[in-house]
């Protein structure tokens, strides 16, 4: 009995440690985005913007990449125009850590917005930098960044 009691906490630690040691899977994480942006990323005009041409364009520029990271980390709220259509919605902050944020942005970049071979992958370190530069920004502030960084 005594030896068995020693084994139980060890198993609990193992069960806790195993999933967190695996790299986050962008495709699995994207399923939460698909609830709004749809499975293909086409979005719903006027409600949920597409993850396509605007994402591809923003991902090529440092300040655009900061905006994309902060959209996930801080959320978005307020008016913006994406691919010529107006949105005045709310995207809740996604509560993902740096590695998971990078993984889901990379899934969008490669599989959803299909940015092509020129797409520069996001690293957890890059997201960490964007996150720490944006701690004072509200979701409304991040939505205002969209036009400032050349989103359209
Ligand atoms: C509850 C619905 C919802 C969920 C879930 C959601 N979004 Fe959004 N997303 C929105 C809305 C609404 C906007 C537009 C916000 C506005 O109008 O200010 C938006 C905007 C964006 C933008 C900015 C698009 C652009 O061209 O500037 C990106 C990028 C984005 N979402 C990515 C994601 C990713 C990646 C996920 C999953 C990790 C996700 N979203 C989850 C609703 C959602």
- Pocket flag, ligand 1, residue 74 (CB < 6 Å): no
Structure tokens given for 59: 């991902």
**What is the tens place of the pLDDT at every residue in 77-92?**
999 999 999 999 999 9
Ligand 1 atom with minimal separation from the 88 CA: 17
Taking residues 105-124, what's their average pLDDT?
96
- Pocket flag, ligand 1, residue 152 (CB < 6 Å): no
Is the per-residue pLDDT at 23 higher than 90?
no
Structure tokens given for 40: 């293909």
- Pocket flag, ligand 1, residue 72 (CB < 6 Å): yes
Percent with pLDDT over 90 in the chain: 82
Q: What is the pTM of this model?
A: 0.89
Total H helices, total E strands in the chain? 7, 2
CA 142/CA 107 separation, integer angstroms? 21
CA 104/CA 122 separation, integer angstroms? 9
- Pocket flag, ligand 1, residue 112 (CB < 6 Å): no
Taking residues 55-63, what's their average pLDDT?
98
Quick one: pLDDT at residue 22?
78
Residue ranges and CATH numbers for the domains of the chain are 24-148 (1.10.760.10)
Residue with CA nearest ligand 1 atom 40: 33
Please check whether residue 136 is in contact with residue 115, taking contact to mean a CB–CB distance below 8 angstroms: no
């Amino acid at each position: 009995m005594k030896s068995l009691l020693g084994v139980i906490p060890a198993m609990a630690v193992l069960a806790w440690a195993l999933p967190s040691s695996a790299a986050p899977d962008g495709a699995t994480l994207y399923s939460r985005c698909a609830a709004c942006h749809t499975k293909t990323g086409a979005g719903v005009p006027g409600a949920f913007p597409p993850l396509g041409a605007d994402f591809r364009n923003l991902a090529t520029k440092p300040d655009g990449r900061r905006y994309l990271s902060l959209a996930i980390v801080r959320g978005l709220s307020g008016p913006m125009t994406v691919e010529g259509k107006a949105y005045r919605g709310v995207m809740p902050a996604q509560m993902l850590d740096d590695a998971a944020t990078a993984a889901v942005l990379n899934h969008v970049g490669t599989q959803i917005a299909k940015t092509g071979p020129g797409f520069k992958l996001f690293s957890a370190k890059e997201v960490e930098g964007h996150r720490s530069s944006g701690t004072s920004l509200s979701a409304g502030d991040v939505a205002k960044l969209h036009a400032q960084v050349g989103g359209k």
